[in-house]
């Protein structure tokens, strides 16, 4: 029996692949080192703030501009509060930006390989994707900022690259630090990229708290720069859904028309505000993660893996001889989830999120066992 129920849906949606997130097993026995979540519990101040909201009841609509959070973020980052827009996680922020800037037939630019959500969101807009391949050492080729990129520098994607020179370039995306490599481009170089590009540049700083430096200061110096942030990774709040962006107030005003009025609820606004007020928590737990990451990196290198220099809470591993899928499968069988990526036209690798010291010890032990077996 044929079902025609979906035939009136827009062709862009029918053609889109949709986003496939990393696995979220329901069992709590599994050690998750696959989606870059924080392994520790968020600041107790967050839970106190949540209880405070619950005690007042939930009968009122939330503050549509999340002004409590904007006020805190303004103090923390030294930008005026009307330069900040809050959303339901940074995925929501990225979706708001995409819907506001990009229409059918427009072009957007991103590096390859990188975070896949940009591609998914662009497909929904009927936009053309230009994915500029990183060099083999993960440096960004200078053609990234040219209006027209020669096709052989682009990853061949589903949305015809042959058309790539038509349509206007509307937006470029740069995760910084980027996933899966964890590498980072220095703020001064990001400024140069933005100045050379013929369109605005979205700097996705999901991991910037682990990096020690960031591009927030550039927004004042260059109107083309938009910063996207999330509390999911460094503040251990992936389950809460809170993200925000920093841009010029003229942009914020326009994006305010695009966002859902109540995309941040009372609980998330209070919790997120409490989280960024507690900078002592951030400092202590970021320090723990970085110490564990450096130990993990050293151990993986000792076992012969090539590990990029991460500025985030995960590391990217390749190996000249050993089969990475076998390691992935062996750890999975033993209750540890990692992320194995095989990027067509690029190569494969194993991404390991930094867990607690105990989780990483177990992970290293299993990797060593499997390496010994494979040798
Ligand atoms: C995890 C991640 C996000 C998504 O963050 P949420 O706020 O949880 O939606 C955005 N960008 C990059 C590069 C990420 O790795």
Question: Which residues neighbour 258 within 8 Å (Cβ) at sequence distance 6 or greater?
Answer: 96, 99, 100
Q: What's the pLDDT at 165?
A: 54
pLDDT at 296 over 70: yes
How far apart are alpha carbons 317 and 305 in whole angstroms? 6
State mean pLDDT over 282-294: 98
Question: Which residues neighbour 180 within 8 Å (Cβ) at sequence distance 6 or greater?
Answer: 113, 314, 316, 339, 341, 349, 351
pLDDT at 26 over 90: no
Tell me how far the alpha carbon of residue 302 lies from the centroid of ligand 1, in angstroms: 31
Tell me how far the alpha carbon of residue 125 lies from the centroid of ligand 1, in angstroms: 20
CA proximity to 158, closest of 98, 97, 116, 200: 116
Residue 157's pLDDT band, with cuts at 50, 70 and 90, is low
How far apart are alpha carbons 140 and 134 in whole angstroms? 5
Q: Which residue has the higher pLDDT, 21 or 161?
A: 21
CA proximity to 351, closest of 114, 117, 155: 114
Tell me how far the alpha carbon of residue 90 lies from the centroid of ligand 1, in angstroms: 6
Structure-token pair, residue 204: 């996705």
117, 202, 244, 341, best to mutate for ligand 1 pocket (most atoms within 8 Å of CB):
117
Largest CA distance in the chain: 63
Tell me how far the alpha carbon of residue 268 lies from the centroid of ligand 1, in angstroms: 16
CA proximity to 180, closest of 341, 344, 375: 341
Tell me how far the alpha carbon of residue 179 lies from the centroid of ligand 1, in angstroms: 10
State mean pLDDT over 34-38: 97
Tell me how far the alpha carbon of residue 292 lies from the centroid of ligand 1, in angstroms: 22
Q: Which atom of ligand 1 is nearest to the CA of 232?
A: 8
Tell me how far the alpha carbon of residue 23 lies from the centroid of ligand 1, in angstroms: 15
Q: Which atom of ligand 1 is nearest to the CA of 114?
A: 13
Q: What is the pTM for the complete model shown?
A: 0.95
pLDDT in tens, 250-281: 999 999 999 999 999 999 999 999 999 999 99
Q: Which residue has the higher pLDDT, 181 or 160?
A: 181
Q: What sign results for the dihedral spanned by CA atoms 160, 165, 166, 172? A: positive
Residue 163's pLDDT band, with cuts at 50, 70 and 90, is low
Q: Which atom of ligand 1 is nearest to the CA of 231?
A: 7
22, 86, 91, 92, best to mutate for ligand 1 pocket (most atoms within 8 Å of CB):
91
pLDDT at 311 over 80: yes
pLDDT in tens, 77-120: 999 999 999 999 999 999 999 999 999 999 999 999 999 899 99
Tell me how far the alpha carbon of residue 375 lies from the centroid of ligand 1, in angstroms: 37
Residue 167's pLDDT band, with cuts at 50, 70 and 90, is confident
96, 115, 237, 272, best to mutate for ligand 1 pocket (most atoms within 8 Å of CB):
115
State mean pLDDT over 326-352: 96
Q: Which atom of ligand 1 is nearest to the CA of 89?
A: 7
Q: Which atom of ligand 1 is nearest to the CA of 178?
A: 13
What percent of the chain is modeled with pLDDT above 90?
A: 88
113, 230, 235, 311, best to mutate for ligand 1 pocket (most atoms within 8 Å of CB):
230
Q: What's the pLDDT at 162?
A: 46
- The whole-chain average pLDDT of the chain stands at 94
One-character DSSP codes across 275-301 = HHH-HHHHHHHHHHHHHHHHHHHHHHH
State mean pLDDT over 138-143: 96
Nearest CA to ligand 1 atom 1: 206
Residue 158's pLDDT band, with cuts at 50, 70 and 90, is very low
Tell me how far the alpha carbon of residue 370 lies from the centroid of ligand 1, in angstroms: 31
Ligand 1 first shell, C-beta below 6 A: 36, 89-91, 115, 175, 179, 204, 206, 230, 232-233, 238, 243
Tell me how far the alpha carbon of residue 2 lies from the centroid of ligand 1, in angstroms: 38
């Amino acid at each position: 029996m044929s079902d025609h129920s979906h035939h009136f849906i827009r062709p862009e949606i029918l053609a889109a692949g949709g986003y496939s997130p990393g696995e979220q097993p329901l069992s709590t026995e599994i050690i998750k080192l696959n989606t870059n979540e924080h392994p520790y519990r968020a600041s107790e101040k967050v839970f106190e703030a949540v209880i405070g909201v619950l005690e007042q009841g939930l009968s009122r609509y939330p503050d549509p501009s999340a002004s409590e959070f904007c006020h805190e973020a303004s103090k923390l980052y030294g930008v005026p509060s009307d330069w900040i827009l809050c959303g339901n996680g940074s995925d929501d922020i990225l979706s708001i930006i995409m819907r506001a800037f990009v229409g059918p037939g427009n072009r957007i630019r991103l590096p390859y390989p990188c975070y896949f959500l940009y591609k998914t969101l662009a497909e929904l807009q009927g936009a053309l994707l230009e994915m500029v391949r990183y060099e083999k050492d993960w440096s960004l080729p200078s053609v990234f900022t040219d209006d027209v990129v020669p096709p052989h520098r682009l990853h061949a994607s589903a949305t015809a690259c042959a058309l790539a020179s038509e349509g206007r370039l509307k937006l470029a995306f740069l995760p910084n630090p980027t996933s899966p490599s964890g590498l980072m481009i220095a703020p001064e170089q990001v400024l140069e990229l933005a100045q050379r590009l013929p369109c605005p540049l979205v700097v996705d700083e999901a991991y910037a708290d682990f990096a020690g430096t960031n591009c927030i200061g550039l927004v004042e110096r260059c109107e083309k720069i938009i910063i996207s942030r999330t509390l999911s990774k460094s503040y251990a709040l992936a389950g809460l859904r809170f993200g925000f962006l920093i841009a010029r107030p003229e942009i914020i005003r326009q994006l305010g028309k695009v966002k859902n009025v109540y995309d941040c609820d009372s609980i998330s606004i209070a919790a997120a505000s409490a989280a960024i007020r507690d900078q002592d928590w951030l400092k202590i737990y970021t320090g723990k993660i970085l110490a564990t990451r450096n130990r993990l990196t050293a151990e993986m290198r000792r076992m012969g893996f090539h590990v990029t220099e991460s500025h985030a809470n995960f590391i990217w591993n390749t190996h000249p001889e050993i089969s990475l899928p076998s390691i992935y499968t062996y750890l999975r069988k033993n209750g540890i989830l990692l992320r194995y990526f095989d990027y067509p036209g690029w190569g494969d690798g194993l991404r390991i999120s930094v867990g607690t010291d105990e989780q990483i010890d177990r992970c290293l032990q299993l990797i060593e066992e499997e390496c010994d077996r494979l040798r």
